[in-house]
Structure 1
Amino acid sequence: MGVIGICVALAACNQKGSIYEYNEGLVLYLKQLPLDVNQNQSIVLIPIGGCYNCIGPALDYLQDSDPSVDLVIFTSTIQVELKRQSNIVFDQDGNFKQYETGVFSPVAFELRSGVVENLVDLNSSSKEEFKILIDKALDK
């Protein structure tokens, strides 16, 4: 299952081994979403608070493609075209900001029984490059 979420990051991304350093904060963040953190799944997060050069290709991919994802989460309402998709949830009050996720650019990772593993940076310079990275990260 692929999930694309857009969150506000509070720290830099730092991968240590196969288990993510900010596992606790990221799992707490994910528990606020309408998904089961104990279910094994692949997840993509895109930090809306980052610079456009970091998140632009990911947003372009979402806007111009029909991504095979189950859910898109925004912490603010942006891009009218994206708002029209039926699988979008809005975090109007910004409560998702309270957890230190360590995510500052688009990332993909596996969630296995409540543990974040194999975090992959999806930072790219174009929509096409982002598509290649996300397909590889999600093993498509």
Structure 2
Amino acid sequence: MTGQPPGTARAAVALWYALAAFGLVNVAYLWVRRGALVEVAAREGFGGGAVTALLLQLTAVAVVFGAGYVVFGRMLRLGKPWARRAVTAVALLHVVWLLLSRSASANLVVVLLIVAGCVLTWLRGTAEWVKQH
């Protein structure tokens, strides 16, 4: 076993952590802007309850994906071979959720971070390091 992971693995883990943080900050911002969202929803014929329900759904999604990125990112950092598959599965589910919710274009930064995280997770340097553990 070797000590420190290579730069590709450290960068991958940093991206997974960044995705988790970005998701939580994004949903927190939406909660802060709840009043304005309720006003827009009212103009469109929806009540404040619809906004709250949507925010609760988005919060749950952010927490679930964020937890997956942090837990499996940490396991990748520790050199667990299965962690690459697990974090990639979370990322793919996240992309599918974005596509099904028709918000992939609005979340282009998230999609790009996911792609970059997957690439770094599967690069040769990361793969070779994980195989040593």
Q: TM-score, normalised by structure 1?
A: 0.24
User: Which structure has the highest helix share of the two?
Assistant: 2
Bigger Rg, structure 1 or 2: 2
Q: TM-score, normalised by structure 2?
A: 0.25
User: Which structure has the highest strand share of the two?
Assistant: 1
